Amino acid sequence: MTNDKPNNADDHHLLGVELSDGGVIEAPDEANGEIRRRDVHGNTEEVRRPGDDGNVQKLANPTDWSRSTIAVCWGGGVDSTALIIRLCKLGIRPALITMADVGAEKPGTYEFIPVFRQWCLDSGFPEPVMCSYAAQAKTAERYRQAVVEVAQRLGISLTAQQLTRLSRIYGNMVGNETLPGIAFGMKSCSIKWKLEAQEPI
């Protein structure tokens, strides 16, 4: 195991994927394309080089990839999708892929979910587990009624699926007559509707 820990905290912008054991898989080196896995102390455990065709140069006392529990939060967009595809090309299989459905994604995102789910299955990856924040029963009903009232005022007919989705973060907004937390400089919506939705998994 070589001790070539990054010199300071500023070097951490090079890290690509953080692992649950405290280690990291770095982004490819700009000079030679090498991808390194470092343990929690910053020591290099494995190196992948361009042209290796999946072969790994194993260093002394490497950590077995299969023993690492990697969970990926997939947002359905370009960045997180590219990350998972890259993991596949590197031969790194996550143990879990989750997606927090806040109920307000673009139609194209919802259309892409089954396409990506099939790609995961074809690639030997776990299919994404859809997660949603569960409000208390009385609160959830209030959100639902708020959405129904808006739909009625606008003369919109909602399917059961649309009503269920809109009764999440959108129902929260109209039911509480407010805007998402980011409008006030906070990230409370992400914490509640994304982080807390996926934590139980």
Reported as a single tens digit per residue, the pLDDT across 116-125 is 999 999 999 9
Give the end of a domain, one of 112, 131, 150: 131
User: Which residues face 71 on adjacent strands?
Assistant: 96
Those residues whose C-beta lies under 8 Å from the C-beta of residue 132, and which sit 6 or more positions away, are 100, 101, 102, 103, 168, 197
Residue 27 lies in a domain: yes
For residue 6, what pLDDT band results from cuts at 50, 70 and 90?
Answer: very low
Give the end of a domain, one of 114, 131, 148: 131
Residue 181, φ and ψ in degrees, nearest 5 = -55, -30
Beta strand segments in the chain, E: 15-18, 24-26, 35-38, 44-48, 57-58, 71-73, 96-100, 129-131
| pLDDT over 70 (residue 21) | no
Determine the Cα–Cα distance for residues 61 and 59; give it in Å rounded to an integer: 6
Residues 15, 59: one domain? yes
Domains in the chain, number: 3
Determine the Cα–Cα distance for residues 116 and 120; give it in Å rounded to an integer: 6
Residues 118, 81: one domain? yes
Residue 2 lies in a domain: no
Read off the pLDDT of residues 63-104 as tens digits, 9 standing for 90 and up: 444 455 789 999 999 999 999 999 998 888 888 999 999 998
